[in-house]
Amino acid sequence: MPDVSVGLDREHSGGVMSNANHREVRRANIPGSMQDVPLSVHHLFDRAERYFGHKTITTATATGIERTTYAEWAVRTRKLGTVLDRLGISSAGRVATFAWNTARHLELYFAAPCTGRVLHTLNIRLFPEQLTYIVNHAEDEVIFVDKSIFGLLAPLLPTFETVKHLVVMDDGKGEIPADTAGIAVHDYEQLLASASPAEFAEVPEHTAASMCYTSGTTGNPKGVVYTHRSTFLHTMATMMTDGLGASERDKILPVVPMFHANAWGLAHAAVASGADLVMPGPDLSGPAIANLIVNERPTIAAGVPTIWMGVLPELKGRDTSSLRAIPCGGSAVPRALSEAYREQLGLPILQAWGMTETSPIAAVCHLDSDQLLLDVNAQADLRTQVGRIVFGVECRVVEPGTTTSVPWDGESSGELQCRGNWIAATYYNDERAGESFSSDGWLRTGDVAAVDSRGRIRLLDRTKDLIKSGGEWISSVEIENELMAHPSIREAAVIGVSHPKWSERPLACVVLEAGATLTKQEILDYLAPTLAKWQLPDDVVFIDEVPKTSVGKFSKKTLRDRFADYQLPTA
């Protein structure tokens, strides 16, 4: 770039530069004077140990409530670091967990990365062949397993190629099989009892800290590796007011499993901020979670929509005044569900959006200050959005197959893409990675969305769940939201079914509330005022339950397989 200031000096002095009155402007870069300290999980642990030792971790177990403090947890976590050394786990070895949300699982969350190893949380609800695939693909060296679910893992032990140790955490139920395929079995508490606390050495911030695999609804699951740096930054986002706002004043109940996208960052945020934790353990039923809310009085309780559907009736008439936020994600939050919580508890659901690939918090639906002045119906409509992208993440909505952004007018739709410091850049050792990232490096989320002028995102559907009818796209999510607003409908999923004229037409799969009765025509009549005629389902089928994926989402793939040969009455 030309030195404009020198040119101006010459012009003002008649073209002659006077050394007495002018100094040459130097354009050399100025080095920053800030310290460069690694952003690591160790810092999160250190804060809990140093400042919040008096704060508590409560775990619901099969035998009752167990309580500990961060001070006691920190000592045990350091001892666990020594255990990993004694087991001979390699310096970057994968430490797998097959466990519920407990204080022990939280010890593993930090002992593995703080010793330079990589935590690998195994989804206990995956199909057996998928578990075998991810254990072998990640090259897990040890699996820490809750005794109550050892039975799920036992038949697969002969298929594991790299596992050398199994460490059993006795959570009050279950048996240890006699045959463990030659893999050494240890007792968690006995290992800790004989270990001394380890000194955690700092690790470079770009070192891998943990990994999760996607739920694998199509093909094998894909591995996402989180670094110390990405985890640190994501934790900050979770603690920000426009994130989930976790702070020392909170008591956090993460109903979302610790094997599901880092428990949405709440386990890390609680430790970093000094928030009390309430771990739900193995019982995630409506009555059990409701009892924890009433008895333990959390301020934040986070889970997927299916969890909150089961909890709501159990909270009727009970004291829920401790709650300040009910974060919900994993799938679209029905308007009727959020409104039911607002009406009964005085607190609507806080919808958030993300994926395994986004660590996962990427957007949170906080209403703007002026939107809080709107009437309740207008606010309820806004809460059906996933909200504004959080600080630290960028988003764009592009025309399919391009990098051309669509207008941010709230109506124009396209594929939602993201980038940021806690967004995946690729998948772990997977040749399919190129399919999920744009030519300029943005994550292709697979969600179809529209964005308004304020940057608030409205998800229309998953790309694979859109229904192509003639020349129009029909959003299955929009129909499902309308269906689940009916007081007699408990769950509803809408899929596209083959049609000879229109290519596909919507089929509504409906689960009624206990004791309720509805006919197909009554449902269509209910939908008619809010949907265009061509959006209405061509048929309605009544089912006992909408099948779920391993992370609690509606499994539309299962429904599409089930109704693959379904003959619509309009065909």
Q: Residue 24 has what pLDDT?
A: 59
Specify whether 164 is catalytic. no
* Full-model pTM: 0.85
Tokens of 509: 């799969």
CA separation for the pair 104, 109 (Å, rounded): 9
Is 473 in the active site?
yes
Q: Check residue 8 and give its pLDDT.
A: 36
Look up 530 and say whether it is catalytic.
no
- Which string of DSSP letters, residue by residue, matches 51-119? H-TTSEEEEEETTEEEEEEHHHHHHHHHHHHHHHHHTT--TT-EEEEE--BSHHHHHHHHHHHHTT-EE
Instruction: Please pick, among 463, 473, 513, 548, the residue that the annotation labels catalytic.
Output: 473
Contact 286, 310 (CB under 8 A): yes
CA dist., res. 88 & res. 82, Å (int)? 10
Which tokens sit at 519?
A: 């006919």
The backbone torsions φ and ψ at residue 209, rounded to the nearest 5 degrees and listed phi first, read -110, -40
C-alpha to C-alpha distance for 243 and 239, rounded to whole angstroms:
6
Name the catalytic one among 59, 82, 97, 214: 214
Q: In the numeric block, which tokens belong to residue 114? A: 């703080």
Among 205, 339, 357, 480, the one annotated catalytic: 357
CA dist list (Å): 125 to 133, 134, 308:
14, 13, 19
Residue with tokens 């050495």: 201
Structure tokens at 140: 């897990």
Of the candidates 466, 482, 473, the one whose C-alpha atom is nearest the C-alpha of residue 523 is 482
**pLDDT, tens digit, 9 for 90 and up, residues 440-490:** 999 999 899 999 999 999 998 887 888 878 767 788 988 998 999 999 999
In the chain, which stretches have pLDDT less than 50? 1-18, 20
What CA–CA distance (Å, rounded) separates 102 from 534? 49
What pLDDT does 400 receive? 83
**119 with 231: CB under 8 angstroms?**
no
213 DSSP assignment: E
357 is catalytic: yes
**Given the residues 248, 399, 404, 468, the one annotated as active site:** 468
